[in-house]
Each structure stands twice: as structure tokens, then as C-alpha cells.
Amino acid sequence: MIAQVIVDVAAKQTDRVFEYHIPKELTDVAVGSRVVVPFGRRKVQGFVVGISETTSYTGKLKDLLVVIDELPPLTPELIALSKTLADKIFSYRITILQSMLPRVMKANYRKILVPLTDEIKENTLFKGEPLDLNEVSDLETIIKIKKLIKNNQAKIEYLVENKAKKKQVTAYLLTKTRTEYQDILGGIRTTAKNQRALLNNIVEKYNEYPKLGSTIESELGISSSTLRAAEKKGWLLKKEQEIYRNPLKDFESNASKHSVRLNSEQLDALNSIGTSIEEKEAKTFLLEGITGSGKTEVYLHAISTTLEQNRNALMLVPEISLTPQMVKQVKERFGDNVAVLHSGLSEGEKYDEWRRIRRGEAQVVVGARSAIFAPLKNIGLIVIDEEHESSYKQNDTPRYHARDVALLRSKFHNCPVVLGSATPSLSSRARAQKGRYELLRLTKRANQRSLPKVDLIDLKTVEFAGGQFDLSIPLVDAIKEKIAKKEQVILLLNRRGFASFMLCRNCGFVLKCPNCDISLTLHKDTGQMQCHYCGHKEPIPRKCPHCQSEKIRFLGTGTQKVQEELETLLPDAKILRMDVDTTRRKGSYKKILDSFGNHQADILLGTQMIAKGLDFPNVTLVGVINADTALSLPDFNSSEKTFDLLTQVAGRAGRAEKTGRVMIQTYNPENYAIKLAQNQDYEGFYQKEMQVRFQGNYPPFFYTTLITVTSKNEQSAAKEAFVIKRKLMRELHAPTIILGPTPSSVAKIKNQYYYQILVKYKYEPKLHELLHQIQDDAQLAQKRGLNIYIDNEPERIM
């Protein structure tokens, strides 16, 4: 038998199938298996993508060496999907196969030096063990090694290591009947207290065994030495058992299924989706429901319907709204059938959840973007909540969009996809308009509450509280009023840190990152200037580094600064801050939210991570400190992003009995995105924004592809970009529009210069092939220090 293998070498020449002979001993190999194969002088990992009886290859095929896992990690469906997707998004197939697995399963390659004679083995270099060459860097040792190899005294070998570790615990099994233990107990001295305690426990709780060692120790107050002694005497049998790390252990499932009665809009939506689930239709629904209209309830009911049909359900939520609140709801409804996958889990937890899914032990999977590749079988429903979120698009290779992958999987499984949002992406809404998706609308809040009243505060004319220009008097007054009534406040500021740049008033110098074309942000808590792109840090300057003047100012604002201002203006208020800086440690996110939920603080101040999905009944005021941050970005969808963010964050107010209020501070109160967000008028925004996109020849009227060229040398990046542009111009024709090359809006990041070309097209049959050529040529360009990225339907063009 012959195995077709994609090897773990991401390059143009290796982006194809290689054939290997399957030796008799490796009969457990299947499509989807991870294997180790000889490749040139090395051993590499690979994935089996096909198995056949014969080959057209005339030479002698090499043998497969190892099959890594008992159960092939990927299913035939995912193997096939990797091929379709690689072609669509201009990626190497191996890159996609790798990203379908939890990170710990990525192969670890080690290069080792193995001594060949006993004499050499005793050499100080080896001390009896092979030498890890990845750890050798000094020249002297390198010369020694070369000499050994030349004299045939040692050779280099390549190891493929598996980092993924299963978690094991020690359990104790019984070896005798209960009567036998009783007899033994009778013969033990009364002074041997620990042994008697153990035997007593065995006799009394015979049926509770096997038990975990740690459980026995804590229950009986005995130590592991007693257990070891019991094992020696043959009373107990020790066994290492594999267990799953359970990230949901804090969310006990609540058997009392407090099911709500759906309202008529929710029922209509559910009926349409339910019919599709039952009839196994690969159909896409767009569930457009205002914030608080009960979309989650519709998803959960649809998932129930799916399980009733003996099929499984996959639900995606954006990373930042994968809040404990959301996980809790799903867990309460579906108990141990749920597996979660998101970045808050440890690598080990992720690996274990993933294996539960692969083994068919979970029927419902909830996760962030990459969970779209979950090895779930027999899928009957795919839900994508907050479908407009740009985080569903991966910004690095492979640049896939989870929504596109969902549609591919839906075709394979014949199951519906539900895209839900209060502010659908323009492209999804346009598809619904054309009838390619079925539009389902929820127009009322589920709890009969009206939407909160939204006021715009014009920062050009308003007076500010305190000495800074961040918090207006009306906003501060409203906060005071709410706190006096023991209600809570959420404040959004889309910028972390203290001040966003240092300016010299004498010479105009702005302190920038040495690696990136962006100013450094002052972080008061760490006492450093930080780059938010590359992480560069340096001390806070006292004098201008350029002219040595002491007249320097720190301008712009961030969450740290606003927190300090609030503390001065409202000395009695308790404030929690939530941004990347305060949520770095595992579990801190949940801790902040729990503490706010328990009313241990009056104000939750944070970046956009507080805008989504949170449901706190006692929050009656939401304040947006500066609505213009997203608007000022020079991108085709910055109005859409602004509208989405404001609508979402406004939806956090007044979700329970108390009426909510929203205050948006802005320098652009006349801007249509802000005005329509004030009225939470999504349909109005859709109409207006479609006109703007039409006039600008942007999506959804044109398809777009972004080609980015980067290099340490600015001129070579620009030059290469022009070469690519000329190539495109020769083959493509009107109405296709080719923009650029232009430097990206942050022209340098991590010492790499960025140049980009945007192709906008309606119908361009040659483009696909052309882009594949550009991708192939990219490898040669790489040798000249150039990187070329192709981004199909980019979320950001800046």
C-alpha cells in the first residue's frame, strides 16, 4: 500500500503530495494520520492525505517510519478541506493542516549528535548522552563537532518530538475480596494506625475503589508512604490513569433547565432554522437582532434541536466575548457534552478538549476562530455569533475567514449555518438582500425593555471636569448620579496605557519606537515607554532626547490616565480597569468580571474587550470616552467598525428592569456612523454605508485582494511592489482597479517596511492563477529578503 503525504516543510517545491510505501507493521495508518517520514537527509513530520494500492512512480519508494497517534488527528473531511482552502487563500497546504491542530501538537525538531564509538561516548562533549545541537553556539565546540563527523566518530541525527503530553494521575485498584481484607485487618497491630485506617476504609467503602491516590491521602489523612507500603504488600495495585484537564470545572452544569419561553420573533427564527436542521439543508441564515433581543436563546434552542436529531453543533464566538458568562450559559444547558476551545485555556487544557472532540465525546463545541477546524463529526448546525467581528479573519498566514470555512463545512455536512449579529457585516447583509442568505430579524428586546437613550456630547464645545480633556462635566455628573443610586457604570476607551505620545514643546520631537513607525505609549504603572506593535520598552525620558530641553509633554490619553482622573474626581468610587495590561494573567479576566458582577466596584473602565456580550443587570450607564478613535483610521470600513462598536457598547446598558442611559463623547457629532449609532439604526446605517461603498468601489460591490511586500530595505520593498503591479496591469483589465503601491499607514513595523497593492475587481478569471504565480515567485523573493503576502478579502487595508 502507498501513502500520499504532505510533509511539514512550507515551501513551493514541497507543496505537493509525496508518496511512501506503507510497511506491513504500520497497518493502522489512515487518511488523517500524522506520520514521520524520511525526507532527504532528514526525518520530518507529515500528514497522510490519501492511501492507494498503486503508484505511477517507477523508482523505489521509501518506507513510512512512524505513525504518531493511535487515532488519526484529522478526519478525511478536514484533509479535503485543507486542499480547497489552500487554493482559495493562497496558502501552502501544510500551513493549513498545522493550524487545524492544537499548538502543542506541532512538531518539534531536534538535531542531535550521536557518538559512534564507546571511546567517544565518554568524551566530555557527550557524557554518555547524545548532544543537543540546538544548544551549541560556541565556535570551539562547533569545530570539535565537525572534526568528529569528518573522522566518522559521530553522526548527526534528526528527531521529531511530540510536545503534547497527556495528564496522568495515580489511581489504586483493589486486589482481593472484601473478606480477605477483613482478615488482613484482623492481623494488624493496633499501633499501626495508618495501615488500619486504610484497611478499614477499603472494607467499609469497598465499592468506591479504584480511587485516586490523592483522594485516599486527603480523606484518611495518611501519606503516600502508607500507600507505597500497601502496594508492596500486594494490598493495592497502582495504576497511572490518563485524565482530561477540565477547563469548565468552575462551571457546574445546572440540571434545572430554567428554559425561557421564546417570544414570537424568536420562535419564527427558530422554526426556520429548525426545519433546515431536520431537512439537512446546507443553508445560511443571517439572524439580525438588536442587542438584548435574545439571539443567544435562539442559538441554544437550535443546538437542542440539533442534538435531538443525533447530530452535533459547532458554535463560534469572538475571543473577547467568550466570556465566562457565555460559557456558563452553554454549559448549564448542555452539561458535559460541551467542549470549549479558546486562548484563555492552557495549552494542555486545549489539547485535552480537542481530544475529547476528536474521540466523539463532546456533542457541542464552543470556541473562538480556530475552533472552526474542530474535528467534530456529523455536524448538524454551525453558529457564528457576532459574525461581523473582524477577529474571525486571521491576520497571519494562513489568512482564512472562519465564516468561509463554515460555509465549506456546511456543504460537506449538509447543515445550516446561522450568522448572528446586531450589526451584521455589510457583506453578509448584502448577501441576505440578494437572497443568498435567509434574513431572520429580531426587532424587540426580549425583556420588553426599550433600548437605552443615547446622548452625544460634543467635545468641541463641552466643558471638562478637572484639569484634563478626557471627561466632560455632563458625563461625570451622570456617573455621580448613578453611583449615588448604587447602580453601575461601564466606560469605554479604546486605548490602553497612560499617554499615547511624548512631544517636545521646544523642538517638536515625538518619541518613536526604534523598530516601528509609531510613537511610544507611556505606561505609568510599569514606568516605561512601550511600543504596542513590537513590545519595545524604554525608560520614560526626563528631557527631550533630541534637543535636551525639559519642556516635554505627554499627550493623548489611555485607560491608565482616565483611571487616575476618575480616582481624583470621584474619590469614593471603586474602579476596575480591564485592558490587555490588566488581563495578561490567566484567570484575571474572569476575576475582574466576577468582581464587577458582584458589585464590588462601581465603574468598569476598559478597551473594546468590554463592549461585547457582557450582561450585567445593574449597569444603567455606559459612557464612551472618545468615539472617534476608530473613525480616524484611514480604512474603507472604519465607519462600519465605529458604528458596530458604539451600537454594541450601548447595548450593555439597561438590560434588566432599570432603564439604561448611554453617553457618547465625540468630536464628530455630525458624522453619519455616530448619529445612526445614537439611534441604534442598523438598517439606516446599512443603506447609507452601501451608497458610500458603491461610490468608493469598495466591498461588497467589488471583491478585494491585498498584496503586501515587506523588507528591511525600504527601496527593495517598493521596487518589488512595482514589479508586481506591472505584472498585474499586463493581465487585468477594466473595471478592475489596481491601487498602489503605497506605504502602509504604519510604514515600518519591527524594522520591516510595508508596501501594499490593492486589487479591486468584479469578474477577473485570470486573477486567481496570477496570484498563485505571485505566491510561487514569493519564495525566490524571500531569498532577497522580501516577504510577499496575499490577503484575500482583507479586513484591513491600511
Among 91, 226, 291, 305, binds ligand ADP (CB under 6 A): 291
Whole-number Å distance between alpha carbons of 589 and 661? 25
Q: Which is nearer to Zn ion, 541 or 741 (CB)?
A: 541
Residues 568-627 within binding reach of ligand ADP (CB under 6 A): 615
Q: Which is nearer to Zn ion, 274 or 541 (CB)?
A: 541
Binding of residue 297 to ligand ADP (CB under 6 A): yes
Cis peptide before 247 (omega within 30 of 0): no
Closest by Cα among 119, 118, 122, 148 to 133: 148
Q: How far is CA 407 from CA 153, 288, 316, 381, 497, in A?
A: 57, 18, 13, 11, 39
Q: Residue 546 binds which entry of ligand ADP, Zn ion, none, with Cβ cut-offs from 5 to 8 Å by kind?
A: Zn ion
Binding of residue 41 to ligand ADP (CB under 6 A): no
Question: Could you tell me how far CA 194 lies from the centroid of its own chain?
Answer: 50
Among 45, 98, 226, 266, binds ligand ADP (CB under 6 A): 266
Q: Residue 507 binds which entry of Zn ion, ligand ADP, none, with Cβ cut-offs from 5 to 8 Å by kind?
A: Zn ion
Rounded to a whole number of angstroms, the minimum distance from the CB of residue 680 to ligand ADP is 12
Q: Residue 291 binds which entry of ligand ADP, Zn ion, none, with Cβ cut-offs from 5 to 8 Å by kind?
A: ligand ADP
Place of cell 438590560: 655
Residues 438-497 within binding reach of ligand ADP (CB under 6 A): 446-447
**Three-state secondary structure call for residue 414:** coil
Q: Which is nearer to ligand ADP, 400 or 616 (CB)?
A: 616
Residues 96/85, Cβ–Cβ less than 8 Å: yes
Q: In the numeric block, which cell numbers belong to residue 505?
A: 514643546
Whole-number Å distance between alpha carbons of 552 and 316? 47
Residues 527-556 within binding reach of ligand ADP (CB under 6 A): none
Binding of residue 260 to ligand ADP (CB under 6 A): yes
Handedness of CA 674, 679, 680, 684 (dihedral sign): negative
Q: Residue 192 binds which entry of Zn ion, ligand ADP, none, with Cβ cut-offs from 5 to 8 Å by kind?
A: none
- One DSSP character per residue, 342-388 reads -TTS-HHHHHHHHHHHHTT--SEEEESGGGGG----SEEEEEETTTT
Among 98, 296, 582, 639, binds ligand ADP (CB under 6 A): 296
Q: Residue 727 binds which entry of Zn ion, ligand ADP, none, with Cβ cut-offs from 5 to 8 Å by kind?
A: none
Among 95, 153, 182, 263, binds ligand ADP (CB under 6 A): 263
Q: Which is nearer to ligand ADP, 266 or 563 (CB)?
A: 266
Among 36, 544, 717, 759, binds Zn ion (CB under 5 A): 544
Rounded to a whole number of angstroms, the minimum distance from the CB of residue 509 to Zn ion is 4
Binding of residue 294 to ligand ADP (CB under 6 A): yes
C-alpha torsion 164→169→170→176, nearest 10: -110
Rounded to a whole number of angstroms, the minimum distance from the CB of residue 294 to ligand ADP is 3
Q: Residue 549 binds which entry of ligand ADP, Zn ion, none, with Cβ cut-offs from 5 to 8 Å by kind?
A: Zn ion
Q: Which is nearer to ligand ADP, 33 or 296 (CB)?
A: 296
Q: Which is nearer to ligand ADP, 545 or 617 (CB)?
A: 617
Find residue 739's DSSP bridge partners. Answer: 758
Binding of residue 648 to ligand ADP (CB under 6 A): no
Among 262, 633, 692, 739, binds ligand ADP (CB under 6 A): 262
Among 99, 293, 321, 472, binds ligand ADP (CB under 6 A): 293
Residues 483-542 within binding reach of Zn ion (CB under 5 A): 504, 506-507, 509, 513, 515-516, 531, 533-534, 536
Q: Which is nearer to ligand ADP, 45 or 296 (CB)?
A: 296
**Three-state secondary structure call for residue 440:** strand
Q: Residue 533 binds which entry of Zn ion, ligand ADP, none, with Cβ cut-offs from 5 to 8 Å by kind?
A: Zn ion
Rounded to a whole number of angstroms, the minimum distance from the CB of residue 613 to ligand ADP is 7
Cis peptide before 210 (omega within 30 of 0): yes
Binding segment for ligand ADP among 32-40, 133-141, 286-294, 391-399 (CB under 6 A)?
286-294
Helix (H) or strand (E) holding 711: strand 703-711
Q: In the numeric block, which cell numbers belong to residue 416?
A: 445550516
Output b/e per residue, 280-314; b: 16+ Cβ within 10 A.
eebbbbbbbbbbbbbbbbbbbbbbbbbbebebbbb
Q: Which is nearer to ligand ADP, 55 or 263 (CB)?
A: 263
- One DSSP character per residue, 650-676 reads HTTS--SSS--EEEEEES-TT-HHHHH
Q: Residue 297 binds which entry of Zn ion, ligand ADP, none, with Cβ cut-offs from 5 to 8 Å by kind?
A: ligand ADP
Binding of residue 295 to ligand ADP (CB under 6 A): yes
Binding of residue 289 to ligand ADP (CB under 6 A): yes
Among 32, 247, 292, 324, binds ligand ADP (CB under 6 A): 292
Sheet holding 236-243, edge to edge: 211-212, 167-174, 236-243
Whole-number Å distance between alpha carbons of 47 and 36? 9
Q: Residue 446 binds which entry of ligand ADP, Zn ion, none, with Cβ cut-offs from 5 to 8 Å by kind?
A: ligand ADP
Binding of residue 188 to ligand ADP (CB under 6 A): no
Q: Which is nearer to ligand ADP, 260 or 780 (CB)?
A: 260
Q: Which is nearer to ligand ADP, 291 or 304 (CB)?
A: 291
Orientation angle between helical segments 714-731 and 767-783, nearest 10 degrees: 160
Q: How far is CA 40 from CA 7, 14, 286, 417, 574, in A?
A: 12, 12, 50, 44, 64
Q: Which is nearer to ligand ADP, 367 or 794 (CB)?
A: 367
Place of cell 495578561: 584
Whole-number Å distance between alpha carbons of 587 and 346? 11
Residues 88-107 within binding reach of Zn ion (CB under 5 A): none
Q: Which is nearer to ligand ADP, 442 or 728 (CB)?
A: 442
Rounded to a whole number of angstroms, the minimum distance from the CB of residue 791 to Zn ion is 22
C-alpha torsion 388→701→694→638, nearest 10: 30
| Binding site as annotated, residues | 504, 507, 513, 516, 531, 534, 544, 547
Q: Residue 261 binds which entry of Zn ion, ligand ADP, none, with Cβ cut-offs from 5 to 8 Å by kind?
A: ligand ADP
Q: Which is nearer to ligand ADP, 294 or 741 (CB)?
A: 294
Q: How far is CA 679 from CA 349, 384, 475, 673, 675, in A?
A: 43, 26, 19, 10, 7
Q: Which is nearer to ligand ADP, 258 or 434 (CB)?
A: 258
Binding segment for ligand ADP among 262-270, 547-555, 565-573, 593-601 (CB under 6 A)?
262-270
Find residue 492's DSSP bridge partners. Answer: 606, 624
Closest by Cα among 47, 52, 53 to 80: 47
Whole-number Å distance between alpha carbons of 648 and 631? 16
Q: Residue 89 binds which entry of Zn ion, ligand ADP, none, with Cβ cut-offs from 5 to 8 Å by kind?
A: none
Cβ-based neighbours of 527, under 8 Å, separated by 6 or more? 539, 540
Binding of residue 421 to ligand ADP (CB under 6 A): no
The count of residues interacting with ligand ADP (CB under 6 A) is 16
Whole-number Å distance between alpha carbons of 755 and 793? 17
| Binding site as annotated, residues for Zn(2+) | 504, 507, 513, 516, 531, 534, 544, 547
Residues 790/707, Cβ–Cβ less than 8 Å: yes
The residue whose Cβ lies closest to ligand ADP is 294
Whole-number Å distance between alpha carbons of 283 and 289? 19
Sheet holding 619-624, edge to edge: 453-458, 661-666, 619-624, 488-492, 603-606, 575-578
Among 24, 41, 249, 261, binds ligand ADP (CB under 6 A): 261
Whole-number Å distance between alpha carbons of 55 and 614? 57
Q: In the numeric block, which cell numbers belong to residue 321?
A: 466575548
Q: Which residues are near ligand ADP by CB under 6 A?
A: 260-263, 266, 289, 291-297, 446-447, 615
Q: Which residues are near Zn ion by CB under 5 A?
A: 504, 506-507, 509, 513, 515-516, 531, 533-534, 536, 544, 546-547, 549
